[in-house]
Structures are given as structure tokens and as C-alpha cells.
A and B are shown apart, each in its own frame.
Chain A
Amino acid sequence: MTSPTLDLSRKPILILDQVTMQFGGLVAVDDFTAEIRQGELVGLIGPNGAGKTTVFNLITGIYHPTKGKIVFDGIDITPLKPHQITHLGIARTFQNIRLFSDMTVLENVLVAQHHKFTNPDADRILKINGKSAKRVANFWFWRSVLKVGYLKFEKEMVSKAKELIEKLGLSKFMHEKASALPYGDQRKLEIARALATDPKLLLLDEPAAGMNPKETEDLMRFVERIREEFDLTIFLIEHDMKVVMGICERIIVMDYGRIIAEGTPKEIQNNPKVIEAYLGREWEGV
């Protein structure tokens, strides 16, 4: 199943090995095997209910697969909990926006930075102010309550959060409740929040849903930009074909939980199986 564009010089960052997820009698993901390589931008498409979101939920540890193995950056993450997986460098957005709605835009982004200080592997993840992160993370609870050796990190977090918010063009909402934002901006805030966790791999679940063509266009440019700027690998579910075909280097097509095709946008467009699926059933957004 190796596609010609798969750049074998890049090392795989995420490997899904024969992953299966069953809910009662329903097999939502069936024997899913795929590789995402460092720096790639891969699309995941398929009809409604194909199991795309479930794949993301499996990668992020929200569900644990019935069978199979998931390896990220050389570590078997199959048994890990969501927060541990985030520590390792996977971030995501949700299809049905899940912001902290009663908190401000700024707070939403700040929350995403908290884990760096409570992470047992803080050392490996980041350097704060040149200091060993582990030393800061020790007693982080007491530091933050008693406000000793805390405020300068808080300041750092705030400035980083503001920078991200600005990048996404949400500055004017800085102190608004997340729930007060227009729909499209809520999607952007989800991306800002995900970026704030300092990921290596970013999973975007239908980021353009509910956006108008102009916004969608901006979003595509934005995704390409952050990929460069943050040195990210991106795995994205999208129902808007224009987005997928426009920016993805490689596309995986799912139907009934299985992979039915994989390849470059061009290959996918001409794949008879995909075409059949297109004509045979109603596709999201097509």
C-alpha cells in the first residue's frame, strides 16, 4: 500500500497497526493500518459514520482499541490515558467544538499550557527560562497557591497565549467568554488551544465545518503556515473536498470502518472504488 509520494526518508511518527474498535455489535474501526510520517500533512476522508472521528479518539486515548496497536514517536501509546498522550505531543480539535465555554478565550489557551508544569516528563518536553523544567514542576501546586516562583511563569504563559491568539486573529475576543464567539472563531480557538499544548502531531477534526468559502480559504493557508512555523505533522479529517485536495499531500479514504483507498489527491480522485463510493452514497459536503 505504499504510495509513490510517501517519502521514505522521513521517519514515521505515528503508526496504527491493525487497529479495531467495536461498540457492542458495531465495528466502527476495522483493521485500520496506516503510517503518518514526520512533517506530513495527511487527510482522512469518508462518508458520515465511516469511523473517522473514532480513529482520532483512539489515537488520543479517549477510546482504547479492541485490537491492535498505536505507536507514537517510538512509544506504544495504546494503553495510555489522554493526558499522557498529550504530554508526549499529540494535540487535537473536536468535530463538535468542546471549548471551556464559561472561560475566556485567554483562559482557554492558558489551560492548555498547564500540563507542561504537571508533566512528569517535563524535562524532556520543554525548557522554561533555561531552567530545568522538572525543577519548576516540582511543587508546582504549592508554587501556584503560595505564589512563590510562580508569577514569572504565569507571565510567560500569558504572553505565549496572547501571541497564539493574535496569530489566529482572535485578539479582539481576548477577554470574552468562549461561548460568545461566532462559530468559525470557536473553531479557530480550538486550534489555538491545541497548539498551546506544544504538539508534534496535530489532529484536526473537520476544522472548516461551518465556515464560509472565504474563511475556509484562510484556514487552509493558516494550516499550511502553522505546519511550517511549528514544525508540525498534521492529520486532518475534512469533509470539504476542496480543502483536502488543496493542501493534503496524501489522503486516506475510509468507509464502514475500513481503509478503502490511500494515495495522492490525484490518485484518489481517479480511484474507481472512491468514485463508486461517491456515486453510490451521499457524501458529506459533496
Chain B
Amino acid sequence: MERKLPKKLNFVLTLLFILFVAFLLYLANEKLDEYVLRVVRLIAIYGVMAVSLNLINGITGIFSLGHAGFILVGAYTSALLTLSPEQKMMSFIIEPIVPWLANVHTDFLTATLAGGALSALFAFLIGWPILRLSGDYLAIASLGFAEVIRIFALNAISITNGPLGLKGIPEYSNIWWCYGWLFVTVIFVASLVNSSYGRALKAIREDRVAAEVMGINVFKHQLISFVVGAFFAGVSGALYAHWLTTIDPRVTTLGPMLTFYVLIMIVLGGLGSISGSLIGAALFAILFEWLRDLEEPFVLFGMRVPGIKGMRTLVISVIFILVMIFWQRGIMGREELTWNNIYRWLKRRGESG
């Protein structure tokens, strides 16, 4: 028989947990220095990226590599909305900004929602052709579309300021915005997954043909998942832009490299697990910061070793490959960290011990 905690208890525990986390965040915001706090905020932004990609890749089984494209759309859209008209006029030096963008100026929430919405719209349009493809073709096609978006950002100078990118974006992504959006993302995605729709999405991942025969319109469901994932990717892009304060369309910032980073997070955490994505995002952010030392000069056995640039991404990629070869299920596999699962786990330990 399935062992379950009473619903009420479950709810109370969850509420307490959320309050506890909120309190921790409050403490962190008060006590931690700016540098550490930046990483703490980044964890939440990565979390939104990872959970949204995980909905598409891990839960629905659409192997999309286009996430950076959606993040880029969210980042640019929101930044163009929060930058003041004067700032925009000053920074667009190659070509002046198009008039319809020059004077719009909104608050951060509107800008973030607009970023998410435009990203979702892109996903809707891109989804029509690419979701008709299968497996690995879809992977390349989505990567290609992300590249097309990036090439557009590089060339549509009067909209994006081209290779110069956007600078001086206000640093609005404070701890509350970041974790607030993370909360919304997790609740939304978890609620979707734990519904009739979520089961249909998982069924598509497990066996596409059987899902179709069960009456599931596979294309439509994949499109829904893709659009929802893209919306939150756009939101994460908005948060990211207002965390970075400078964005540009290079390969290494909002290009394929970022998609790979997010992919690493969800693979490490466990493809298909929301809590895994969160753990993966946190681990990645921390590991990446921690490995920064590798690129600084350091002293080994009394010898001064010069810092080597690129060392930390190299280490990350080695870890990634090792995980794929030896530990494909990642930290959580497809399991979730729920009170029920913790309870069952404790009980089992109690019985065997």
C-alpha cells in the first residue's frame, strides 16, 4: 500500500518550509556581503532556467537546445523596457534606436512579464515547425533557431544595438524578485506536472505512439509544454539581464554556451525532477563560483602557478561527461523531494535499521 502523510500535515509542513526559506533569505539579505548575495540571487535565476528547461526536456521529453534563445528574448525585451529613454538614446551609437522603442519605459514587473510573453510567442511560432521533428533532429533545429535569434540580435542594430549590446541596465533583480519568480515557476510547473496534463506530458516522453493512441494530441501538448517552458525562460532572461546589468549577443553570454550550462544543471539534478533541477542549479552556481579560484594564480607546494583561463569550464565539462557515463540518473533521477517521499524514506530506513 502507498504510504502517505495526511493532506493537512503535508500542507502545514510546506507552509512552514516556505516561511523558513523566506526567513533565511531575509537573513541572507541583511547579513551577507554583496558578493555572496550575488551568487545567492544567481542560484534562483539559474533555478528558473533549469526548471523551465526541465519541463521541456525532462518531463515532456522534447530534446530542445534552444533555451538560450528564449532567455535572450526575455533579457533583451525586458532590458529595452526598463532602460530609460535617455540611456537608450545615448547607448545606440551605431544606429539610432527605432522610434517605437525609444520612448517606452516600464516598471520591472511589466518588463519581466513582457519578456516572458514575447519569449512564449517565439516558442509558439518556432514550435509549429520544429515540434514536428523527432528526437535529435529537433535538438539541432532548436539549437539552430536559438542561433538565428542570436544572429538577429547581432544584426538588428536599431533594435538591439547589435554587437555593442545593452549596458547600464538597472540592477533590479534583488533577492525578492529572484526568489519570488522562482517560487512562481516551481509552483506553476509542479502544479502542471501533477495534473491530468502533466501525466499526458510524461506519457508522451515515455512512449509517443502509445500516448497518441490514448487520444493525446501529442503536437498540441508538446507545444503547450514548450510555450510554458519558454515563458519562464523569458522571465529568467529578464532576471538575468537585470542581474548582469550588461548583455550582448556573444556565444558565451546568451548563446549556446548558456544552454549547455542549463543542460548541465538539469542532467546533474536528474532529468525529469523539479527538485533535482533546483539542486542542480544551486550546485552549478556554487561550483562555478568556487572553481573561479582555479583561474586565479595560486600557490602549489611553494610554487606560484599562474591562473589558467577556461580551467573552471573545463572542469565542469569533465564532471558533466562523467555524470553522463557513470551516473545518468543524476542526483534525484525522476524522483521528487516531497514530504511524502521523505516520510517513506525515513520509514523504510526505520524498518530496515
Chain A interfacial positions (CB closer than 8 Å to B): 60, 62, 81-83, 86-87, 91-92, 94, 98-103, 107, 110-119, 140-141, 144-147, 150, 153-154, 157, 174-175, 193, 197
Report the minimal beta-carbon distance from A180 to chain B, rounded to whole angstroms: 14
* Contact A114 B199, CB 8 Å, known A103-B206, A147-B191: yes
Known A-B contacts A145-B191, A146-B191; the reply to A103 vs B202 at CB < 8 A is yes
Q: Report the bound CA distance from A174 to B3 in whole Å.
A: 12
Q: A222 to B206, alpha carbons, bound, how many Å?
A: 28
Query: How far, in angstroms, from A146 to B191 measured CA to CA in the complex?
Result: 7
Docked-complex contact A154 and B214, CB < 8 angstroms: no
Contacts of A146 in B (CB 8 A): 191
From the candidates B1, B191, B213, name the one contacting A86 in the complex (CB within 8 A): B213
The CA-CA distance from A89 to B21 in the complex, in Å, is 49
Given contacts A114-B215, A114-B216, contact A98 B209 (CB under 8 A): yes
CA–CA, A153 and B197, complex, Å? 13
Asked if residues B214 and A107 are in contact (CB atoms below 8 Å), the reply is: no
Can you name 14 A-B residue pairings with CB atoms under 8 Å? A81-B217, A98-B210, A99-B206, A110-B199, A111-B211, A111-B214, A111-B216, A115-B215, A115-B216, A117-B196, A118-B216, A118-B217, A118-B220, A140-B196
Q: Given B197, B212, B217, B334, which contacts A102 in the complex, CB threshold below 8 Å?
A: B334
Evaluate contact between A119 and B215: CB separation under 8 angstroms.
yes
Q: In the docked arrangement, what's the CA distance between A107 and B215, Å?
A: 15
With A98-B207, A100-B202, A100-B206 already in contact, the answer to whether A115 and B214 are too (CB < 8 A) is yes
Cα distance, A83 to B197, chains bound together (Å): 15
CB within 8 Å of A: which of B187-234? 188, 191-192, 195-200, 202-203, 206-207, 209-218, 220, 224
Q: How far is the CB of A86 from chain B (nearest CB, A)?
A: 3
Q: Which of B2, B191, B198, B215 contacts A83 (CB 8 A)?
A: B215
Is A99 a contact of B214 with CB atoms below 8 Å? Answer: no
Q: Is the CB of B197 within 8 A of A141?
A: yes
Majority secondary structure, B binding face: helix
Of all chain B residues, which has the CB nearest A125? B215
The residues in B between 55 and 87 inclusive whose CB is less than 8 angstroms from any CB of A are: none
Residues of B with C-beta under 8 A to A103: 199, 202-203, 206
In the bound complex, what is the Cα–Cα distance between A146 and B189 (angstroms)? 11
> B215 to chain A: which residues have CB within 8 Å?
83, 86-87, 112, 114-116, 118-119, 197
| A114-B196 in contact given A83-B218, A145-B191, A175-B2 (Cβ < 8 Å) | yes
Q: A83-B212, A153-B196 are in contact. List 11 more A-B contacts (CB 8 A).
A: A82-B212, A83-B214, A92-B213, A99-B210, A100-B211, A102-B202, A102-B206, A107-B199, A111-B203, A144-B191, A154-B196
CB distance from B206 to the nearest CB of A (A): 4
Do residues A62 and B206 form an inter-chain contact, with CB atoms below 8 A? no
Question: Which residues on the A side are within 8 Å of B206 (C-beta)?
Answer: 99-103
Nearest-neighbor residue (CB-CB) of B228 within chain A: A145
Instruction: List the B residue with the shortest CB-CB distance to A196.
Output: B214
Residue of A nearest to B334 (CB): A102
Q: What's the Cα separation between A82 and B224 when bound, in Å?
A: 19
Asked whether A86 and B214 contact (CB < 8 A) given A114-B200, A141-B197, A145-B195, the answer is: yes
Interface residues of B (CB under 8 A from A): 1-2, 188, 191-192, 195-200, 202-203, 206-207, 209-218, 220, 224, 334
Q: Nearest residue in A to B195 (C-beta to C-beta)?
A: A144
Does B199 lie within 8 Å of A145, measured CB to CB? no
What residues on A are CB-neighbors of B1 within 8 Å? 175
Q: Which of A111, A144, A197 is most buried by chain B, counting CB atoms within 10 A of its CB?
A: A111
Q: Is the CB of B195 within 8 A of A150?
A: yes
| Cα–Cα distance between A119 and B196 once the two chains are bound (Å) | 13
A51 to B209, CA, bound (A): 19
A90 to chain B, nearest CB (A): 9
A267 to chain B minimum Cβ distance, whole angstroms, is 33
How many Å from the CB of B196 to the closest CB on chain A? 5
A141 with B224, Cβ < 8 A, contacts A62-B209, A100-B203, A114-B199 known: yes
Residues of chain B lying within 8 A (CB to CB) of residue A115: 214-216
Given the complex of chains A and B, what is the CA–CA distance between A99 and B202 in angstroms? 12
A113 to B197, CA, bound (A): 11
Q: Collect the chain A residues with CB atoms within 8 Å of residue B202's CB.
A: 100, 102-103, 107, 111
Q: Evaluate whether A110 and B195 lie within 8 angstroms (CB atoms) in the complex, with A94-B210, A102-B206, A103-B203 already known.
A: no
A197 nearest CB across to chain B (Å) = 6
Q: Which residue of chain B has the shortest Cβ distance to A179 in the bound complex? A: B206
Asked if A83 and B196 make an inter-chain contact with CB atoms under 8 angstroms apart, the answer reads no
CA distance A192 to B320 in the complex (A): 41
A197 to B334, CA, bound (A): 27
With both chains docked as a complex, state the minimum distance between the C-beta of B341 and any C-beta of chain A, in angstroms.
Answer: 13
Q: Contact check: which of A91, A101, A144 meets B197 at CB < 8 Å?
A: A144
